[in-house]
Amino acid sequence: MNVTRESDSPTEVTLSILMDSVDEEPYLNRSYRRVVSRLQIPGFRPGKAPRSIVESHVGRTALVQEALEFMIPESLDKVLKEQDIKAFAEPELEIVDLEPVSYKAVVPLEPEVDLGEIDSIHLERDPVEVSEEQVDHVLQDLRFEAAPWEPVERPVAFGDLVTLNVKGTISGEQAIDDQGVDFIPQQDNQMPLPGFSVYLEGMKDGQEKEFALTVPEDYPQEIYAGKECRFQVEVLAIKEKQLPELDDEFAKGVREGYESLAALTEYVRQRLTEEGESSAQRQLEQNSLEALRNQATIQASQIIYQRELESMREDRERALRNQRMDMDTYLGYLGQTEDEWRDMIRPEAEQRLNTFLVIRKLADQEGLEVQPGEVEEEIDRLISASGSESQSSMRMALDTENAKDSIRSSLLNRKVMARLVEIVEGNGSAESQTSDSPESTVTAEAPEANQESPDDTGVNEAEGSAEEISADVSSTEDEAVN
């Protein structure tokens, strides 16, 4: 092979590779064996025609094209080893010619990451304060969830549980036909169409009503968007919550029971405090990572940024398929072309990759790693926490190499973030870089692009929701609401 380095930079190497006949021959023989097994040539049994006959039958170019699938990656791998080039990601390839085979490979190298003076970053976590209003809000939510639905003899009001027969017709086609469905009308309830709840307010048991609503332009079923839907609604029953007194007896009926309202109140306050502290920790981690990323100097090949962009597109396509939507429809809703959408998410892709590189570098610089035993402990913890009856099948799923790699990356991320928080809070100086080599021996998984963050206030208020808190303290049954 004739190999020429066309260009060299700190982030990538461009190689021009020309194959000679000796190099091509083993690959063409493999190609011949694959092609001949698919051909039926008169006078020869399947798979038995000589290469010269096959070549005259399909042409040498066909054998070469068949061989490219393994010729290029295998020959390039050999070149990289001989040239002592370590690719950070899959090279970008361009076929130049087929007779003889020649191609170019742009090889992205290990990015150069300089974290700067980490010890210069000083941050404090937000203090956590839990107000009496927050505690009372959770208690009232628990009280509402524990209350039974009781029939009432009055017109429908917002917040009632209403049993309905509903029919909806769009352009003469019946789009909705629900019988005996339970529904809670609220002013902000946009289902099944915006304004539906408003027409229910004031209706009486047994009353029927007809009205029309316009389907929103962004309705998921595009064929109905912008059209008029005519509803026929019949009220079958009206119920309201009979709220219990907020006293010791109420507290004793919550989940396993609390000896008094004071004990339940203290538990709620404790949970809100824990939620607030967790939120403050997440915010400090996010701020620390952002500060480190902003001061870091990163030199990386544009190829890997483009690959991150492609990865985000694949993720979005996968999510859309789960919603039974394709990319073209999604872009139509956004009113964007493919190129415009890519330009929109490009900064997010760059930030995701830079975050990954910074975490990876810090892990290497601080000598952080995950031992095999830690991965096994985490698998045991995940299985135990799931409470699933099919623990054996869950263990089998987590025992694959891909699953273990994901768990290992997650554990390493936790260690990196814990160490970074120690540094920015002044609880330990960063380790100095001991090697000039840009190579890293650890891998880290890039964090999600959209991390949850609390309000940017001086005091981080514990915003524990009723769903989060009452999940631990409520044992009421789920209401059947569509």
CB 27 within 8 A of CB 35: no
CB 164 within 8 A of CB 236: yes
Tokens describing residue 174 = 């019946």
The CATH classification number of 148-242 equals: 3.10.50.40
pLDDT value at residue 145? 84
Query: Looking at residues 317-338, what average pLDDT do you find?
Result: 89
Residue 280: pLDDT over 90: yes
Name the amino acid, one letter, at 423: I
CB 476 within 8 A of CB 253: no
CB 106 within 8 A of CB 91: yes
pLDDT tens digit string along 56-107? Answer: 888 889 999 999 999 999 999 999 999 999 999 999 999 999 989 999 999 9
Q: Which of 292, 288, 275, 291 is nearest to 454 (CA)?
A: 275
* Average pLDDT value over all residues in the chain: 85
CB 430 within 8 A of CB 366: yes
Tokens describing residue 39 = 């051909």
More confident residue, 390 or 395: 395
Tokens describing residue 103 = 């191609």
pLDDT value at residue 427? 80
List of residues 6+ apart from 347 with CB closer than 8 A: none
The share of the chain scoring above pLDDT 90, in percent, equals 58
pLDDT value at residue 143? 87
Domain boundaries, the chain: 2-109, 148-242, 253-298+343-473
CA–CA separation, 205 and 162 (whole Å): 9
Q: Which of 354, 368, 475 is nearest to 431 (CA)?
A: 368
Residue 389: pLDDT over 70: no
What count of residues does the chain have? Answer: 482
If one counts every other C-beta atom within 10 angstroms of the C-beta of residue 451, the result is 13
pLDDT band, very low/low/confident/very high, at 243 (cuts 50, 70, 90): confident
pLDDT tens digit string along 189-224? Answer: 888 888 899 989 999 999 999 999 988 887 777 777
pLDDT tens digit string along 109-119? Answer: 999 999 999 99
CA–CA separation, 420 and 457 (whole Å): 22
pLDDT tens digit string along 29-38? Answer: 999 998 988 8
pLDDT value at residue 431? 67
CA–CA separation, 271 and 139 (whole Å): 12
Residue 435: pLDDT over 90: no
Pairing relation of β-strands 228-241 and 161-170? antiparallel
More confident residue, 16 or 470: 16
Q: So what CATH class is 2-109? A: alpha beta
Distances (CA, A) of 310 to 38, 306, 315, 321, 333: 35, 6, 9, 16, 21
CB 426 within 8 A of CB 122: yes
CA–CA separation, 48 and 4 (whole Å): 40
CA–CA separation, 296 and 355 (whole Å): 10
First and final C-alpha spacing in the chain:
68
pTM, 2 dp: 0.68
